[in-house]
Chain A
Amino acid sequence: MGLRPPLFSEHERLGARIVPFGGWDMPLHYGSQIEEHHAVRRAAGMFDVSHMRPVDIEGPDALPFLRHLLANDAAKLTAPGKALYACMLNPQGGVVDDLILYFCGPERYRAVVNAGTAEKDIAWMHAQAEGRQVDIRSRDDLAMIAVQGPDARARVEPLLPDGLRASAMQVGPFFAAEDAHWFVGRTGYTGEDGFEIMLPSADVAALWRALVAADVRPCGLGARDTLRLEAGMNLYGQDMDETVSPLDAGLGWTIAWQPQERDFIGRDALNARRDHPDRRDFVGLLLTGRGVLRPHQSVLAGGRVVGEVTSGGFSPTLERSIAFARVEPGTAADCAVDIRGKPVSARIVKPPFVRHGRILIAL
């Protein structure tokens, strides 16, 4: 049995199918994964993401520490509340984890890291922080709900604490607002507008029930996976890990090469990787033949294997199968995927597939 989030009994009451994920027992779906997916694209859905781990990073050296720790540049965060997506690399240029970093105020940051990697990440951060005046604090005391969809913010608004409501409703995309106890980020993992709300574990069941009453549909990890895939967002452990550089995972845009003198972990390895003949392109795939794309299937072109699917599945919005794949640079757009020994035709496309309810690729 895995760790149980504070909302576990709520999930059981709602008839969730529970699966192990990152050391936790989490809801996969509450009946129909596809209907949950559509609820987020069309109205509002919510996810218990209490398995994810907020980590507060504070102190006089917080900024120089983060500028060394992350491949994206924390110095880009100048406006309070602003968020940054970043990869934390090892010296070989592999991804230790991907995370969202929020700038809370001078010398005060909050990172949110993946569940399965949280303990490893925190140990890594501590090791890198040696000799610096920085306090790294894991916030196991917080729970987290992501409310996502075009109607999400409006349905959350009346449920926010009075002192936080106005500021939370005013923040722009990829910004956050906080009070002494709650933290509301206008961020997410679905390609829709919405909030990610961190709050004391003791308060989370009341918020969850109020959201259910406000007609926000509970959604499980299944819908979360198809939503993020459609939105062109990577999943750690599947699309990249410690052996894969961000340059091979479609995350080149998260590397801040400038200023050149910034010395971040993995920089030299990434420099060498840029023009390396083994470097792979990270692409989207649309299956034009019949079947379902799944991780580890081979991508075929010119009669040979040119790559591998990293994430794949059925897209409820497109009603087609889509995937991410790592392929040789220059692979022709018309290719095939080996599904149970048969080549099935596919086309390389540029993710995202869907954002804000709209299909962004030609079918």
Chain B
Amino acid sequence: MSDAPAELRYTKSHEWIRDNGDGTVTVGITDHAQEALGDIVFVEIPDQGREVDADEACAVVESVKAASDIYSPLAGEVIESNALLNDSPDAINNSPYDEGWIFRLAPNDMTALAGLLDAAAYQQVVEEEA
């Protein structure tokens, strides 16, 4: 069973979302997602200042196997992207919830966060896929 920390929110498309408590959230992909993708070799991160809609493809993670779109879980503005991933894309494999974060977002509506999956609901999504 892959790891899905209880304090995070999740999407069905395997992004995790951390509430930073300052009106921003951090987004990455789950342990389950990185494991399914295999060794990650390239990440295309979104530009700072980009306005994104909810469910808009805004980053690409390429593994040895294939390219996968990463979707913004909420509408808002990208305020920072993880530049570490330019040189060390495998940070997502090694540390999906910490060093492997992908971008930070200032959501237009923080209350939409509550509409995302909690850890238990996400684990169920993973189990249903298996």
Q: A217 at the A/B interface (Cβ < 8 Å)?
A: no
Q: B49 at the A/B interface (Cβ < 8 Å)?
A: no
Task: Check if B64 sits within 8 Å of A34, measured CB to CB.
Answer: yes
Nearest neighbor of B36 in chain A, beta-carbon distance: A17
The distance from the CB of B94 to the nearest CB of chain A, in whole angstroms, is 11
Of A17, A29, A290, A292, which is in contact with the most chain B CB atoms at under 10 Å from its CB? A292
Question: How far apart are the CA atoms of A321 and B63 in the complex, in Å?
Answer: 12
In residues 260-318 of chain A, which contact B (Cβ within 8 Å)? 290-292, 294, 313-314
A1-45 contact mask (Cβ, 8 Å, vs B): 1 or 0: 000000000000000010000000000110011100000000000
Interface residues on A, range: 10 to 19
Q: A222 at the A/B interface (Cβ < 8 Å)?
A: yes
Q: A120 at the A/B interface (Cβ < 8 Å)?
A: no
Instruction: Summarize A's interface: helix, strand, loop or mixed.
Output: mixed
Which residues from A are CB-within-8-Å of B60? 340
A117-147 contact mask (Cβ, 8 Å, vs B): 1 or 0: 0000000000000000000000000000000
Q: A226 at the A/B interface (Cβ < 8 Å)?
A: yes
Task: Check if A314 sits within 8 Å of B64, measured CB to CB.
Answer: yes
Partner of B39, one of A33, A291, A294, A321: A33
Task: Check if B62 sits within 8 Å of A292, measured CB to CB.
Answer: yes
Task: Check if B39 sits within 8 Å of A290, measured CB to CB.
Answer: no
If A34-B64, A222-B64, A222-B65 touch, whether A292 touches B38 (CB-CB below 8 Å) is: no
Of B38, B60, B66, which is in contact with the most chain A CB atoms at under 10 Å from its CB? B38
Q: B27 at the A/B interface (Cβ < 8 Å)?
A: no
Q: B105 at the A/B interface (Cβ < 8 Å)?
A: no
Task: Check if A290 sits within 8 Å of B42, measured CB to CB.
Answer: yes
Task: Check if A292 sits within 8 Å of B42, measured CB to CB.
Answer: yes
Question: How far apart are the CA atoms of A17 and B63 in the complex, in Å?
Answer: 15
Which residues from B are CB-within-8-Å of A291? 42, 44, 62
Which residues from A are CB-within-8-Å of B39? 32-34
Task: Check if A33 sits within 8 Å of B44, measured CB to CB.
Answer: no
Question: How far apart are the CA atoms of A359 and B89 in the complex, in Å?
Answer: 23
If A292-B67, A294-B67 touch, whether A33 touches B62 (CB-CB below 8 Å) is: no
15 pairs from A and B in contact (CB 8 Å cutoff): A32-B39, A33-B39, A34-B39, A34-B41, A222-B38, A222-B64, A291-B42, A291-B62, A292-B67, A294-B67, A313-B64, A314-B42, A314-B62, A314-B64, A321-B41
Q: Which 3 A-B pairs have the closest CB atoms?
A: A314-B41, A292-B62, A34-B39
Given contacts A291-B62, A314-B64, A340-B60, 17 further A-B contacts (CB under 8 A): A17-B38, A28-B38, A28-B65, A33-B38, A33-B39, A33-B65, A34-B64, A222-B65, A226-B64, A290-B42, A291-B42, A291-B44, A292-B41, A294-B66, A314-B41, A314-B62, A321-B41
Measuring CB to CB, which residues of chain A are less than 8 angstroms from any residue of chain B? 17, 28-29, 32-34, 222, 226, 290-292, 294, 313-314, 321, 340
